[in-house]
Amino acid sequence: MTKVTMTVNGKTVSGEVKGNTLLTEFLREDLRLTGTHVGCDTSQCGACVVHVNGEAVKSCTMFAAEADGAEVKTVEGMANADGSLSVIQQAFQDYHGLQCGFCTPGMVMSAAALLKDNPKPTEAEVRDYLEGNICRCTGYHNIVRAIMAASGQDVPAVAAE
Amino acid sequence: MPKDHGIGASQKRREDVRFLTGAGNYTDDINVHGQAYVHFLRSDMAHGKINNIDTSAAEGMPGVVRIFTGKDFEGVGGLPCGWQVTDKHGEPMKEPAHPVLAQGKVRHVGDPIAAVVADSLEQARTAAEAIVLDIEELPAVVDMAKALEAGSTKVHDDLADNLCYDWQFGTDTETTDAAFKNAAHVTTLELVNNRLVANPMEPRVAVGDYSRANDEHTLYTTSQNPHVIRLLMGAFVLGIPEHKLRVVAPDVGGGFGTKIFHYAEEAFCTFAAKACNRPVKWTSTRSEAFMSDAHGRDHVTKIELALDKDNNFIGVRTDTMANMGAYLSTFSSSVPTWLHGTLMAGNYKTPAVQVNVKAVFTNTVPVDAYRGAGRPEATFQLERVIDKAARELGVDPVQLRRQNFITSFPYETPVAVAYDTGDYHATMDKMEELMDIPGFAARRAESEKNGKLRGMGINCFIEACGIAPSNLVGQLGARAGLYDAATVRVNATGSISVMVGAHSHGQGHETVFPQVVAEMLGIDESMVDIVHGDTSKIPFGMGTYGSRSLAVCGSAMVRATEKIINKAKKIAGHLLEASDSDIELKDGQFTVAGTDKSVAWGDVTLAAYVPHNYPLEDIEPGLEETAFYDPANFTYPAGAYACEVEVDPDTGKVTIEKFVSADDFGNVVNPMIVEGQVHGGIAQGIGQALLENCAYDENGQLLSASYMDYAMPRADDIPHMASYVVDHSCQTPCTHNPLGVKGCGEAGAIGSPPTVVNAVIDALHSGGHTHVNHIDMPVSPSRVWAAINGQ
Ligand code: FES
Ligand code: FES
């Protein structure tokens, strides 16, 4: 067991972990931050994406010990300080970018990382960036729309009647 | 002006907030104090005789609580099948035992052999490696045709062969043969409906808990229908009466059919929690999911279409082998029969339709319902053979369909169902308009300039949803009723909890159902909450599948709300000193007709619970009503879909350039959610058509057991937004349920696969590859390339 200390969603936390404890397990089981999900065991689905030192990382592929000293952000840390939904989260709701919600934390974290580096992505860039995030429910259409809208680009309104 | 509340409003989903902030409560998020973990040791052989399982070394390993094998389950029942199919000779289907843990033999890769319960998952896994198995490998049977050959290896030694049933349905043979004899043209097509894995993003999880204090079991499980699990597991497997068994399905991360069924792991956790006197948790890995979640589709079909000299359809005859896998999963037997055969008339007035299905056992994972369940298989073969016929006859595929459409309703098909309403020309018109068919030639020319072939495919479909009228399905072999239930509990100050039997795992019931109740009562949606997914809170319910939630459970909710209104009017009449027949309810106010005397919703509800001034001699205090609703018929959503593909003739790669769906779902309560359902279904259909394949080798080894090998559709496999329209403006309301709704959950997955394949064949023909009449799904680059090159 080794002791790890990291900042998670702005709070300093520490815990005892084994060498093979994954960051996902540390977040979910030790910190009980269960918003980060596990959808696969081959690093393919992206349900587990969090930010480590500002970069999107699949937390199922990183050991907790590797995050020692790091700044970690999970979906629980994405809302505005007053608890309201952030721009990206709000766009997911406005454009119906989620159904069962299981892929959603990873999608939100990936979207945030994309928009940080590329504030006005094209639709093709969004789709390309989401290569590592699988959603089985939405067919991606509304996720792409949500991300485009969150970037301030014009997206036809939902369910235009 | 779109509505902003009530029925017809695209209300934003209230459940989104918790999912977007990480506050969802999925089964794997639940840890029960003191829980142990189970790891299942699964067969890596497709078929083998168990000689011995030596757990002695493993039992002494650190953290091990107890190790279970099939022997521990000899005294309990097997996993039941919920649908008894009767074969064409009047014999019941073969129903082999389906033990919780393998007994005597292993029959597919993934079959659970032993279960190790330990303090930690790691300890359970490590101990499982110390179990010594003596299993004698037997030849495996994977291919259905081979499984049916005389002398084939048998999956179940106690059965005569691998045939589960040989079923015939629809028009009798003499009449059908006569149609084909009189035909001016017969088109024949052999095809495969590829085996798929549903792959909800949340893997299955089960947590069993047991209270010695009152002999009560609790199972937390990833289920679409907790009451069905309680019934099946309680009554047939473990012998626990319902009042001692609570099944909770909290937030569930997608289902698509695969979380309908009762699985061994949930029975195990429930059983082991008592046996170990400790909560027991199982979380599936994705690799485990591939070999233990029921698979979908897997039909091999020959279909023939007979046309007269005027191109009228006069006969359809179809012959299918349907893979059941190694055991009968909960609804497996109904999928190729009652959910498939009954749809073989499609949208067409073909007078003779005969369906033949042989269900076959093989050494593969059990196959059961997956989004659409039988209806995609019916649509695919029918719409593919119609397209081939149009090509052979040199007629326009749209016109050929149109001339054969059913146009008057109700319509009795030759395959047992009666369509209540529809307008297939309307959806076809809509599709044609949105598709810009006149512009196709120019788009094709543009593609050709870039060295690509462009094709357009169209497709019509009908489905039977709102499952199901109990009386009819009972005659067809269902062992359960398929009604649903709702309780509307009005609280003293007027807020409402609606307990519904339908389960929401992406469909947005928490938003949509209150829209209906609020509209009926004229109150704000925020006063209404839905409670679902817990057998201890809800009267009863058959769950969510078959696009049934609003059509069946929603109808129960409407009925219960009507009872509430009736009672509330009596109370209001008393308060207003008027006859209840004179009371009108509008915008949350009860008014005496023709007067300005009124009393508000909240005053009436308060009076019900504080009955100081109350008609106690006529009615009881309180305001809570339950209704059970059994539908009079299925609902029949239908639609017309079209897409354009580009094929790269050098690589065989297919891309979807344009996609249009025109659906008739009847009335729509929340258009935004309906469109989302269609998007999701279409993506799964595109996945089936172009990408997904659950593959076995001839020894029964599962080749596609992870996302490295099983190609899930990703964001860039779906057409861009400018060339993608889902429309549901054609609405012929269902005639027999109170909301006039038909269901929208499966349409996309049913309508899209033939659309895509029809487009690919069209593209290849445009490039002169006229020898290619069919390519089996998934239409992968290698298959297209091989077809182009005659290989
Ligand atoms: S759980 Fe990390 S990529 Fe799937
Ligand atoms: S919303 Fe269910 S997997 Fe994306």
Token couple for B603: 């005053």
> Are the beta carbons of A99 and B29 separated by less than 8 Å?
no
Q: What is the mean pLDDT of residues B355-369?
A: 98
| C-alpha B254 to ligand 1 mean position (Å) | 16
Among B606, B629, B652, residue at a domain's last position: B629
Mutate to test the interface with A, among B16, B285, B643, B717 (most CBs of A within 10 A): B16
| C-alpha B298 to ligand 1 mean position (Å) | 28
Distance between CA atoms of residues B267 and B257, nearest Å: 19
Distance between CA atoms of residues B232 and B219, nearest Å: 13
The reply to whether B1 falls in a domain is no
| C-alpha B203 to ligand 2 mean position (Å) | 12
Q: How many residues in chain B?
A: 791
Identify the band that residue B624 occupies on the pLDDT scale cut at 50, 70 and 90. very high
Distance between CA atoms of residues B216 and B116, nearest Å: 23
Question: What is the value of pTM for the model shown?
Answer: 0.97
> Are the beta carbons of B21 and A79 separated by less than 8 Å?
yes
Question: What would the pLDDT profile of B658-696 be if each residue is shown by its tens digit?
Answer: 999 999 999 999 999 999 999 999 999 999 999 999 999
Closest listed residue to residue B142, CA positions, set B366, B364, B358: B364
> Are the beta carbons of A37 and B252 separated by less than 8 Å?
no
Residue-range domain boundaries for chain A: 2-76, 87-150
Q: What is the mean pLDDT of residues B414-427?
A: 96
Closest listed residue to residue B758, CA positions, set B493, B446, B383, B283: B383
How far are the Cα atoms of A149, B371, B447, B693, B717 from residue B688, in angstroms, in the given order?
A: 30, 11, 25, 7, 12
**Given B31, B254, B718, which is nearest A102 (Cβ)?**
B254
Amino acid present at B43: S
Amino acid present at B643: C
Ligand found nearest the CA of B200: 2
Q: Give residue A161's pLDDT.
A: 35
Instruction: Please indicate, yes or no, whether residues B370 and B490 belong to a single structural domain of this protein.
Output: no
Give the rounded percent of residues in chain B with a pLDDT score beyond 90: 97
Among B629, B648, B682, residue at a domain's last position: B629
How far are the Cα atoms of B242, B449, B722 from residue B454, in angstroms, in the given order?
A: 58, 11, 18
Main-chain phi, psi angles of B53, to 5 degrees: -125, 110
Mutate to test the interface with B, among A100, A104, A155 (most CBs of B within 10 A): A100
**Helix (H), strand (E) counts: chain B:** 19, 30
Q: Give residue A62's pLDDT.
A: 97
Instruction: Please indicate, yes or no, whether residues B239 and B376 belong to a single structural domain of this protein.
Output: no
Distance between CA atoms of residues A98 and A109, nearest Å: 14
Q: Give residue A157's pLDDT.
A: 54
Alpha helices in A11-76 (DSSP H): 23-25
> Are the beta carbons of A142 and B19 separated by less than 8 Å?
no
Instruction: Please indicate, yes or no, whether residues B511 and B534 belong to a single structural domain of this protein.
Output: yes
As a whole number of Å, the end-to-end CA separation of chain B is: 56
Identify the band that residue B476 occupies on the pLDDT scale cut at 50, 70 and 90. confident
Measured in angstroms, the CA of B612 and the nearest CA of chain A are apart by 43
The reply to whether B145 falls in a domain is no
Amino acid present at B30: I
Given the DSSP bridges, would you call strands B411-412 and B583-586 parallel, antiparallel or unpaired?
unpaired
Q: Give residue B173's pLDDT.
A: 98
Question: What would the pLDDT profile of B268-324 be if each residue is shown by its tens digit?
Answer: 999 999 999 999 999 999 999 999 999 999 999 999 999 999 999 999 999 999 999
Q: What is the mean pLDDT of residues B125-137?
A: 98
Instruction: Please indicate, yes or no, whether residues B347 and B449 belong to a single structural domain of this protein.
Output: yes
Question: What would the pLDDT profile of B497-543 be if each residue is shown by its tens digit?
Answer: 999 999 999 999 999 999 999 999 999 999 999 999 999 999 999 99
Main-chain phi, psi angles of B141, to 5 degrees: -115, 120
- H/E run at residue B131: none
How far are the Cα atoms of A111, A116, A119, A136 from residue A125, in angstroms, in the given order?
A: 11, 13, 11, 20
Q: CATH code at B397?
A: 3.30.365.10
Instruction: Please indicate, yes or no, whether residues B358 and B461 belong to a single structural domain of this protein.
Output: yes
Strand-pairing partners, residue B628, are B485
3-class DSSP assignment, residue A129: helix
Q: Angle at the Cα of A161 (from A158 to B5), degrees rounded to 5?
A: 75
- Specify the ligand 2 atom closest to the Cα of A137: 2
**Given A42, A74, A102, which is nearest B201 (Cβ)?**
A102
Q: Residue B74's CB: how many other CB atoms inside 10 A?
A: 10
Token couple for A9: 């969603």
Instruction: Please indicate, yes or no, whether residues B315 and B225 belong to a single structural domain of this protein.
Output: no
Instruction: Please indicate, yes or no, whether residues B406 and B489 belong to a single structural domain of this protein.
Output: no
**Cβ neighbours of B706 in A, within 8 Å:** 40-42, 44
Distance between CA atoms of residues B666 and B672, nearest Å: 15
- Specify the ligand 2 atom closest to the Cα of B200: 3
Q: What is the mean pLDDT of residues B727-740?
A: 97
Pocket, ligand 2, Cβ cutoff 6 A: A 98-104, 135-138; B 201, 253-254, 506
Q: Give residue A159's pLDDT.
A: 40
Instruction: Please indicate, yes or no, whether residues B426 and B573 belong to a single structural domain of this protein.
Output: no
**Cβ neighbours of A91 in B, within 8 Å:** none
Number of domains chain B is built from:
3
Buried b (16+ CB within 10 A) or exposed e, B513-533: bbbbbbbbbebebebbbbebb
Question: What would the pLDDT profile of B563-620 be if each residue is shown by its tens digit?
Answer: 999 999 999 999 999 999 999 999 999 999 999 999 999 999 999 999 999 999 999 9
Question: What would the pLDDT profile of A39-57 be if each residue is shown by its tens digit?
Answer: 999 999 999 999 999 999 9
The yes/no answer on whether domain A2-76 falls in CATH 3.10.20.30 is yes
> Hunting for tokens 């907030």 — which residue is that?
B17
Token couple for B616: 């106690």
- Specify the ligand 1 atom closest to the Cα of A58: 2
> Hunting for tokens 């020309």 — which residue is that?
B425
Contact between residue B461 and residue B572 where contact means Cβ atoms under 8 Å apart:
no
> Are the beta carbons of A142 and B714 separated by less than 8 Å?
no
- H/E run at residue B226: helix B226-231
DSSP state of A39: -
> Hunting for tokens 């009335």 — which residue is that?
B667
Measured in angstroms, the CA of A69 and the nearest CA of chain B are apart by 23
The reply to whether B171 falls in a domain is no
Q: Give residue B1's pLDDT.
A: 63
pLDDT exceeds cutoff 80 at B329: yes
Buried b (16+ CB within 10 A) or exposed e, B470-479: eebbeebbbe
Identify the band that residue A158 occupies on the pLDDT scale cut at 50, 70 and 90. very low
The mean pLDDT value of chain B amounts to: 97
> Are the beta carbons of A74 and B682 separated by less than 8 Å?
no
| Per-residue 3-state assignment (H helix, E strand, C coil) for B147-199 | HCCCCCCCCCCCCCCCEEEEEEEECCHHHHHHHHHCCCEEEEEEEEECCEECC
Q: What is the mean pLDDT of residues B171-195?
A: 98
CB pairs under 8 A between A and B: 195
The reply to whether B771 falls in a domain is yes
The reply to whether B175 falls in a domain is no
Token couple for B296: 């979908």
Give the rounded percent of residues in chain A with a pLDDT score beyond 70: 97
Domain that holds residue B127: 31-138+201-254+259-292
Distance between CA atoms of residues B194 and B470, nearest Å: 31
Pocket, ligand 1, Cβ cutoff 6 A: A 38-40, 43-48, 58, 60
Among B629, B661, B677, residue at a domain's last position: B629
- Specify the ligand 1 atom closest to the Cα of A49: 2
Q: Does A109 touch chain B (CB under 8 A)?
A: no
pLDDT exceeds cutoff 90 at B215: yes
- Specify the ligand 1 atom closest to the Cα of A61: 2
- H/E run at residue B429: helix B424-435
Strand-pairing partners, residue B193, are B299
**Cβ neighbours of B202 in A, within 8 Å:** 37, 39, 100, 102
Contact between residue A79 and residue B21 where contact means Cβ atoms under 8 Å apart:
yes
Q: Does A55 touch chain B (CB under 8 A)?
A: no
Amino acid present at A113: A
Q: What is the mean pLDDT of residues A74-90?
A: 97
Measured in angstroms, the CA of A161 and the nearest CA of chain B are apart by 7
Q: Give residue B99's pLDDT.
A: 97
Strand-pairing partners, residue B196, are B296
The reply to whether B164 falls in a domain is no
User: Taken in order B424, B430, B433, B436, is the CA torsion positive or negative?
Assistant: negative
Instruction: Please indicate, yes or no, whether residues B591 and B616 belong to a single structural domain of this protein.
Output: yes
Instruction: Please indicate, yes or no, whether residues B622 and B503 belong to a single structural domain of this protein.
Output: yes
Closest listed residue to residue B543, CA positions, set B483, B476, B489: B483
Closest chain A residue to the Cα of B507, Cα to Cα: A99
Helix, strand and coil in chain A, % to nearest 5: 35, 15, 45
Identify the CATH number of the domain defined by range A87-150.
1.10.150.120
The reply to whether B179 falls in a domain is no
| C-alpha A91 to ligand 2 mean position (Å) | 16
Q: Residue B574's CB: how many other CB atoms inside 10 A?
A: 21
Question: What would the pLDDT profile of B225-271 be if each residue is shown by its tens digit?
Answer: 999 999 999 999 999 999 999 999 999 999 999 999 999 999 999 99
Instruction: Please indicate, yes or no, whether residues B217 and B243 belong to a single structural domain of this protein.
Output: yes
DSSP B598-627: EEEHHHHHHHHHSTTS--TTTS-S--EEEE
Distance between CA atoms of residues B434 and B472, nearest Å: 38
> Are the beta carbons of B715 and A103 separated by less than 8 Å?
no
- Specify the ligand 1 atom closest to the Cα of A38: 1
Strand-pairing partners, residue B135, are B50
Q: Which residues contact B419 (CB under 8 A, 6 or more apart)?
A: B406, B409, B410, B411, B413, B462, B636
The reply to whether B217 falls in a domain is yes
The mean pLDDT value of chain A amounts to: 95
**Cβ neighbours of A34 in B, within 8 Å:** 22, 24-26, 28-29
**Cβ neighbours of A29 in B, within 8 Å:** 31
Given the DSSP bridges, would you call strands B638-647 and B484-490 parallel, antiparallel or unpaired?
unpaired
Contact between residue B434 and residue B660 where contact means Cβ atoms under 8 Å apart:
yes
